[in-house]
Amino acid sequence: MPRLVSHPDEVKIVTRRFGQGAAKIERYIELGGYEAAKKCLAQGPEWIIDEMKASGLRGRGGAGFPTGLKWSFVPKQSAKPKYVLVNGDESEPGTCKDHLIFLHDPHAVIEGTIIAGLAIGAKTGFIYLRGEYRYLLEFMEKAVADAYARGFLGTHIFGSDTEFQIITQTGAGAYEVGEESALMESLEGKRGVPRIKPPFPAVVGLYGGPTVINNAETIATVPHVIAMGAAAYAAVGSVRNGGTRLFGLSGHVERPGVYELPMGYNLRKMIYEVGGGVRGGRGLKAVVPGGSSTPVLLPEEIDIGMDFDQVGKAGSMLGSGGVVVIDDQTCIVEFALRTISFYQHESCGWCIPCREGTDWLKKSLTRFHAGFGETKDIDNIQYLAENMMGRTFCPLGDAAAMPILGFVKKFRKEFEEHLGGKACPFAKRVELAVI
């Protein structure tokens, strides 16, 4: 069972019911659950969307798009049914926050889905979990069944004339399905190959109907925004970044775990105070601030507030909030190789720059790490990665290229130390794959 952690600097909004048995519907109701959905039912769609806009809540999946604005893009009238789709395909390396939400507070996901449905006028919501999360899918399915039994879901939710149904879905292993158009393809029973945009999902989405797609954390936050009020929620965070975020601290920290901290919380403080510093008193070499696809930060770059805008200004991304801490005994070339191996494995092959780029980057980095690299390879790695950027249907190509560019640019010296047939100064494992 994943361990829950705590720190005095945390502001527990989304996690406030964690560890309190709220997966049981009676307990969830006891703790104030489903009141926000009832309030939204009474207030109507425009009020909900205004509240969401005022809250400053931005998408927790990685892109940070304002949630209220996203919901407002869905046309009021539609010939085809509208849908809410909850993205629980959590698979960005470094990220495990939704894991805890499904485990400890599945009804918050259901309640948030109902509210999103009320806001856009949808009658059906889908909750999609990655295939590896089978035990969590069972939790979700039990919670959905309990919500139906209480009349919170169905043809007359909370005794009203409004209908809302929830359907759960499992994936079967695919990082790319975390991309919204690939997610819809997967839910339609196809390969998770991304769609070309436009049209955007808000206009033509699932089964051709207007669709709102939100990350599970975003959706689980929605009832709390309604319950505490948009202004109070916004006030917790930083400018244009409302509320809190579930940050996953992993790698070489003393106290890894998922911590709920205000948006804009200082990254250095997060690592050294919340996370207890680098494990074993070692030095800090680098930080990947928002999941494996986000460009690396150097120790002198971590005095920044962790929100979408400030991390962006520092040349990286807040992404999924997965903060991976790397100590000074780690080989960056090996880390880069493991990162690109993942993206090479996950590339669907639809777009040539991604398919060929990830494959060549993996080959180049494998050879480089084994000590068979040449000086020109460093530039070639950079050239390959630069030419993947912005040239693919979905962001997987960028997600693979961005971290590699960061490693090469910021750790060029360490790449050079692998030249001339020298063994990797750090690694225990050096394998030269057949190229």
Residues at the interface with another protein (CB under 8 A): 2-3, 81, 90-96, 98-99, 124, 130-135, 167, 169-175, 186-193, 207, 248-252, 256-258, 288, 292, 322, 324-327, 330, 335, 338-339, 342, 345-346, 348, 429
Q: Which is nearer to another protein, 28 or 139 (CB)?
A: 139
In whole angstroms, the minimum distance from the beta carbon of 235 to another protein comes to 28
Q: Which is nearer to another protein, 20 or 330 (CB)?
A: 330
The three-point CA angle 45-50-52 to 5° equals 95
In whole angstroms, the minimum distance from the beta carbon of 405 to another protein comes to 17
Q: Which is nearer to another protein, 55 or 358 (CB)?
A: 358
In whole angstroms, the minimum distance from the beta carbon of 252 to another protein comes to 6
Q: Which is nearer to another protein, 86 or 234 (CB)?
A: 86
Tokens read off for 54: 């005022």
Among residues 197, 188, 131, the alpha carbon closest in space to that of 395 is found at 197
Q: Which is nearer to another protein, 25 or 324 (CB)?
A: 324
Q: CA–CA distance from 121 to each of 211, 221, 327, 354 (Å)?
A: 10, 20, 49, 37
In whole angstroms, the minimum distance from the beta carbon of 402 to another protein comes to 14
Distance from chain centroid for Cα 382: 26
Q: Which is nearer to another protein, 214 or 294 (CB)?
A: 294
13 contacts 95 by C-beta, under 8 angstroms? no
314 in helix, strand or coil? Answer: coil
In whole angstroms, the minimum distance from the beta carbon of 38 to another protein comes to 27
CB burial of 219-249 (b: ≥16 within 10 Å; e: otherwise) equals bbbbbbbbbbebeebbebbbeebbbbbbbbb
In sequence order, what are the beta bridge partners of 297?
287
Q: Which is nearer to another protein, 19 or 44 (CB)?
A: 19
Q: Which is nearer to another protein, 288 or 297 (CB)?
A: 288
What is the rounded CA–CA span in Å between residue 91 and residue 191? 17
Q: Which is nearer to another protein, 42 or 172 (CB)?
A: 172
259 contacts 247 by C-beta, under 8 angstroms? yes
In whole angstroms, the minimum distance from the beta carbon of 53 to another protein comes to 30
In whole angstroms, the minimum distance from the beta carbon of 77 to another protein comes to 19
Q: Which is nearer to another protein, 25 or 193 (CB)?
A: 193
Please report, in angstroms and rounded to a whole number, the separation of the first and last CA atoms in the chain: 41
Check residue 381 and give left, alpha or beta (phi > 0: left; psi -120 to 50: alpha).
alpha
Bridge-based pairing state of the strands 165-170 and 124-129: parallel
In whole angstroms, the minimum distance from the beta carbon of 177 to another protein comes to 9
Bridge-based pairing state of the strands 284-288 and 322-327: antiparallel
Polymer length of the chain: 435
Q: Which is nearer to another protein, 348 or 401 (CB)?
A: 348
In whole angstroms, the minimum distance from the beta carbon of 407 to another protein comes to 12
Residue linked to tokens 């790695």:
381
Listed in sequence order, the DSSP H helices in 60-179 are 67-72, 97-104, 106-120, 134-149
In whole angstroms, the minimum distance from the beta carbon of 254 to another protein comes to 12
Beta-carbon contacts of 145 under 8 Å, excluding residues fewer than 6 positions away, are none
What is the rounded CA–CA span in Å between residue 397 and residue 405? 12
Tokens read off for 396: 């997987």
In whole angstroms, the minimum distance from the beta carbon of 94 to another protein comes to 5
Beta-carbon contacts of 252 under 8 Å, excluding residues fewer than 6 positions away, are 278, 279, 282, 325, 326, 327, 330
